[in-house]
Structure 1
């Protein structure tokens, strides 16, 4: 480390911004290519943030070196899957805190004034909106912004639509195609109106519209999701049949079909993307079930698309789910199952491999009792 670098408690050089909810650093040290990985790791573990002033590619190399060091501390799997899950979540939170302490300064125009740095302004504007002044952000999150921007430009192929969907930053991408395929092949009754709750990219709303639902209303709590879903239906020529709204879970009125693909794991998300995976105390699942009877038209049905990974991890039982369905005044009219195809389901190195390998995603057809 340079002799001029120093830890300071002075105000940060810009507004702190973290999509993962990391707290603003209380201590900061200016660092460049002269700092060693061991020193940087020690400072990060102690809670000191490093403001990078060196070469951009050097910052990326340092981040990879920090990743290797922190990954040496990954906990061993416990006997119970639920305990392994909790240990992994605790480790991942620790990992995010440590790696998030390598920071960069975005200029007032979202530019990055580092040697060999790419032009990040378009990607940052797409993620954060128009520039509002300098921002201090974790380098790791900036790399996520750049990766998301590439996804948005290239799009994700959705075979059920025969088209590409372009996910926006902070919106869960339809890379797990099994839930889309379930909605694409489930018997669809004639419906004038369908609701897609938690629409995200709008992919399920688009599938329903393509399959013949007369009018589809997609809802979400996220303004980023509203913009993304509206972009999706516009690109697909479905804007006259699909409406996107929020932030309420249910829109006003009733529908012949109500579809919901809630986050499949009860737990607290630590980033905007994790909101598509983790549902604190199963709140969205409970709200969907509780509100379904009063939002269905006569002879209508609800489709609950849900992975059973939580059951294999010991976080929820099948009896819990069936009891919740019954308590909402609903009965099961049918179910379609599919196996996951994502790479983690076949990775034996994953501490949760046994649970992931046994996972089944189901479309539950629910009707009032």
Structure 2
């Protein structure tokens, strides 16, 4: 998949303040998640001669900052950019709106610095020799930019309140994203904006033509903003079966589309607790609880089925945060797991539907012919293939560093059967 999971900074514009009533439920419980992986992680800093600490938000995959400098409205964008470039994080103690302006100003300085660097050294540096090199350079630049922007921090109290002048009420958005915390927390301002934007998207929902209601996507769950893969599932010829499986269901959108097409029973699996909660909520909203079972499973549920659908992450690269697991599949592990386990879970005359983009091939991340060879090696054959061109904006943006690959991308639904 190449959409952005809800919660990343590009998943939506920074949101307006939610309503004032704290939410009940939702989220993953940050303390419980941290405890499951070991001891909770804390950030430490000195403020006014006192040693302070707060729970550190690990969503970005970054370790707590080694050096935190307390700043306020007197800090200029140039000074903030310099501190971030030197590896310092900055805890904001001024007006909240000014923090947002500072973040935007630092972003402009990052981009200006990069343009100046390219102008100064670009003529001496060869252009990327391959699409893969262009992709790696693009990801590196994105990562470096994110690290600098994530250096501006906001402290929230145990109830997600922000004790700053003109601070919005973000309690609902943070609780929906993180669950209960119970103690003070440090967040990059950029991550906080992502949570608020995610909460707005969750409330608004995403329209899916094949369904009578919108799909509402939780923070950290893959959002069906790109519709072409859903259209493929909505129009592919159905095999003669009353039971289907949707592997890696995420928001539950494909399971709902299968039920809407007349499949009597759908088993939707996922390993991510956020995805499972999101899918259950969407299925309930659509009134499909009696026909769709949401199950925690690593790929396949037990048994054999007449139709097994899988839309794995499309790019075989390493995710740099938990929010990127819906986009990047290291070493194509989920893709290979689906293909290699499919024959053992298909009923007689059953079909597997694999939804896959060829963007990885255009970027040089996967060799041409890899997918066909993997299908054959798994004891499978291709029964048919439906294809669609992407309709998202980046496919038509000539200024995008990956435009050549994106403009050539095709998304396919591979109908697979047992050899």
TM-score bracket relative to the smaller structure: over 0.9
Which structure 2 residues correspond to residues 237-256 of structure 1 after superposition, within 5 A?
A: 237-256=287-306
Change over 3 Å in CA distance of 1:186–1:59 after alignment to 2 = same
Shift of residue 291, structure 1, vs aligned partner: 0.5
Aligned twin of 1:233: 283
Shift of residue 58, structure 1, vs aligned partner: 0.7
Shift of residue 267, structure 1, vs aligned partner: 0.7
Query: In 1, Cα distance between the equivalents of 2:371 and 2:185?
Result: 44
Which structure 2 residues correspond to residues 1-369 of structure 1 after superposition, within 5 A?
A: 13-72=53-112, 73=114, 78-369=128-419
Deviation track 1:70-95 (CA, whole Å, cap 9, x = no partner) reads 22327775131100000111111111
- Aligned partners of 1:22 and 1:100 also within 8 Å: no
Shift of residue 132, structure 1, vs aligned partner: 2.0
- The DSSP-based 3-state class of the residue aligned with 1:117 is coil
Query: In 1, Cα distance between the equivalents of 2:238 and 2:141?
Result: 43
- The DSSP-based 3-state class of the residue aligned with 2:325 is helix
- Aligned partners of 2:218 and 2:278 also within 8 Å: yes
Deviation track 1:316-358 (CA, whole Å, cap 9, x = no partner) reads 1231111111110001000000000011101111000010000
Unaligned runs of 5+ in 2: 1-44
Task: Output the TM-score relative to the length of structure 2.
Answer: 0.84
Give the structure, 1 or 2, with the largest relative contact order (CA under 8 Å, sep 6 or more): 2
- Aligned partners of 1:312 and 1:355 also within 8 Å: yes
- Aligned partners of 1:302 and 1:366 also within 8 Å: yes
Shift of residue 10, structure 1, vs aligned partner: 8.1
Query: In 1, Cα distance between the equivalents of 2:92 and 2:249?
Result: 38
Query: In 1, Cα distance between the equivalents of 2:133 and 2:47?
Result: 38
Q: Which runs of 4+ in 1 moved over 6 A?
A: 5-10
- The DSSP-based 3-state class of the residue aligned with 2:133 is helix
- Aligned partners of 2:355 and 2:413 also within 8 Å: yes
- Aligned partners of 2:61 and 2:322 also within 8 Å: no
- Aligned partners of 2:59 and 2:323 also within 8 Å: no
- Aligned partners of 1:123 and 1:145 also within 8 Å: yes
Query: In 2, Cα distance between the equivalents of 1:33 and 1:208?
Result: 54
Aligned residues: 365
Change over 3 Å in CA distance of 1:35–1:247 after alignment to 2 = farther
Query: In 1, Cα distance between the equivalents of 2:332 and 2:50?
Result: 42
Query: In 1, Cα distance between the equivalents of 2:271 and 2:416?
Result: 24
- Aligned partners of 1:9 and 1:26 also within 8 Å: no
Query: In 2, Cα distance between the equivalents of 1:165 and 1:313?
Result: 31
- Aligned partners of 1:219 and 1:246 also within 8 Å: yes
Change over 3 Å in CA distance of 1:248–1:10 after alignment to 2 = farther
Unaligned runs of 5+ in 1: none
- Aligned partners of 2:106 and 2:149 also within 8 Å: yes
Shift of residue 12, structure 1, vs aligned partner: 5.0
- Aligned partners of 2:135 and 2:363 also within 8 Å: yes
- The DSSP-based 3-state class of the residue aligned with 1:363 is strand
